[in-house]
Amino acid sequence: MNAMTEQLKQQAGSTLLRFITAGSVDDGKSTLIGRLLYDSKGIFADQLAAVSRAKHKRTVGDTIDLSLLTDGLEAEREQGITIDVAYRYFATPKRKFIIADTPGHEQYTRNMVTGASTADAVIILIDVSKVKLGDDGSVQLLTQTKRHSTIAKLLQIEHVVVALNKMDLVDYDRNVYERIVAEYEKFAASLGLKDITAIPLSALAGDNVVDRSEKLAWYEGPTLIELLESLSVYDQSHAAPFRFPVQLVARHNGHEANDFRGYMGRIESGVVKVGDKLTVQPSNQSATVKEIVTFDGSLESAVAGQSVTLVLNEYVDVSRGDMLAGSEQPATLLKQVTADVCWMADEPLDLRRKYWIKHGTRQTAAKVARLDTILDVNTQQRHPAEGLKLNDIARVQLTVQQPLAADAYADIRATGAFILIDEVTHQTVAAGMIRIEE
């Protein structure tokens, strides 16, 4: 591993963490983020003043309605629910954060998928006062808890934080906390979720969010902010095979004797060095890296996350939408695509219609050839699919007009993801994750 790769690894682990909040309606997601912002001094005085004057305050007396710090739409404030994905930035001395506050309603599952697609961690809130605890020891988790956990697994989110909120409503009862955590861990095991940390807290009262609570003295783990500051986030794409979707072919207007042809884009995974052998996909031409050009000058090597211009020794036919891949481990060329999709359109899927598929920098015509199964988020069972409507998660087979140089989403997120676009309305109708059977 060269020095640059090591430096980026250290930066990824110590500076920026992207996370989302997810949960059912009124679990306190917006209030939790408001508490994080308020207690960590992540908001300004004028923002506090604006919240205090808001006409849709949902608290009693002079208490600040912290949820209004993220619920930015008028409809959200009127109804007391989160509708859109709200992104907020704040920082502590140890780390910078980007938060996506996602809706809890089932009808806004597509918004949750959007917010989760770039997240390193997810905070799944569980309102302990809503969980049904049977006298026989049974525990019944809410459907949305299961749905959002399923999406976190599908999207390969690395860290799952289970925040058991509103502990003040159950008198900070340790037994309630432990029963719910045990049930969630059983469900998570059925999903295959691994890195799970549970925290008891009260977002409204501020217990265990930033400041430790004496009322939860039996809990010996970190507060929420301490945990978020300590999560190790290293983009595994640095160690994956080299993938470089070409965004633009760069030429200058100079004399032909001094011709320049470079291929511009963002390295989605892996490392590239001068002299590396590459494969141009889908044409399968071979090429060698002559130069790695940036605004600040040429580099000997570059890694995932950097935007560069690659100059090749050979004169090969490369266009926008092509993939430059490491010759030893090129991407898989697919004309038939198996994928899990989340349907995002109000109109149900029509198998007779054609769509555009946007994969990396390539956009080509696509058709849903077959619906296989729909995932039941409660039971984790797949059932034969007769149709696909808003928020459904299904396994489908796609036929594409031009081959995609793709990887399994589980291996490389950037080259395993795509969206489907309605060719008439230009609306994004689905987000997909490619599955490649070994």
Which residue matches tokens 């906390």?
Answer: 177
Residue 403 is predicted with a pLDDT of: 96
Give bridge partners of residue 298 from the DSSP assignment: 293
Cα-trace Rg, the chain: 24
> For the whole model, what pTM was predicted?
0.78
pLDDT averaged per 10 residues in sequence order, the chain, 438 residues: 41 69 76 78 50 46 51 41 63 86 64 78 91 88 85 87 94 95 93 90 89 92 93 72 94 66 93 96 95 92 92 92 95 96 90 92 95 83 88 92 94 92 91 85
Residue 398 is predicted with a pLDDT of: 96
Residue 52 is predicted with a pLDDT of: 46
* Pairwise CA distance, residues 421 & 357, whole Å: 6
Give bridge partners of residue 368 from the DSSP assignment: 398
Cα dihedral sign for 227, 202, 42, 159?
A: positive
Angstrom distances, CA of residue 341 to CA of 120, 121, 277, 358, 374? 20, 21, 34, 13, 10
* Pairwise CA distance, residues 284 & 376, whole Å: 40
Count Cβ atoms below 10 Å from residue 92 Cβ, excluding itself.
Answer: 16
Residue 154 is predicted with a pLDDT of: 85
Which residue matches tokens 């008198």?
Answer: 171
Residue 106: phi and psi, rounded to 5, are -60, -35
Whether the domain at 238-326 and the domain at 332-434 fall into the same CATH topology: yes
Q: Which fold has domain 332-434?
A: Elongation Factor Tu (Ef-tu); domain 3 (2.40.30)
* Pairwise CA distance, residues 304 & 237, whole Å: 6
CATH classification of 13-232, choosing from 3.40.50.150, 3.40.1280.10, 3.40.50.300, 3.40.50.2300? 3.40.50.300
Residue 67 is predicted with a pLDDT of: 52
Which candidate, 174, 109, 116, places its Cα nearest to that of 143? 109
Residue 239 is predicted with a pLDDT of: 80
Convert the chain into a string of H (helix), E (strand) and C (coil): CCHHHHHHHHHHHHCEEEEEEEECCCCCHHHHHHHHHHHCCCCCHHHHHHHHHCCCCCCCCCCCCHHHHCCCCHHHHHHCCCCCCEEEEEECCCCEEEEEECCCCHHHHHHHHHHHCCCCEEEEEEECCCCEECCCCCEECCHHHHHHHHHHHHCCCCEEEEEEECHHHHCCCHHHHHHHHHHHHHHHHHHCCCCEEEEECECCCCECCCECCHHHCCCCCCCHHHHHHHCCCCCHHHCCCCEEEEEEEEECCCCHHHCCEEEEEECCECEEECCCEEEEECCCEEEEEEEEEECCEEECEEECCCEEEEEECCCCCCCCCCEEEECCCCCEEEEEEEEEEEECCCCCCCCCCCEEEEECCEEEEEEEEEEEEEEECCCCEEEECCCCCCCCEEEEEEEEEEEEEECCCCCCHHHHEEEEEECCCCCEEEEEEECCCC
Count Cβ atoms below 10 Å from residue 227 Cβ, excluding itself.
Answer: 18
User: Taking the domains of the chain in order of start, what are their residue ranges?
Assistant: 13-232, 238-326, 332-434
Residue 81 is predicted with a pLDDT of: 41
Q: Which residue type, as a one-letter code, is found at position 337?
A: V
CATH of domain 238-326: 2.40.30.10
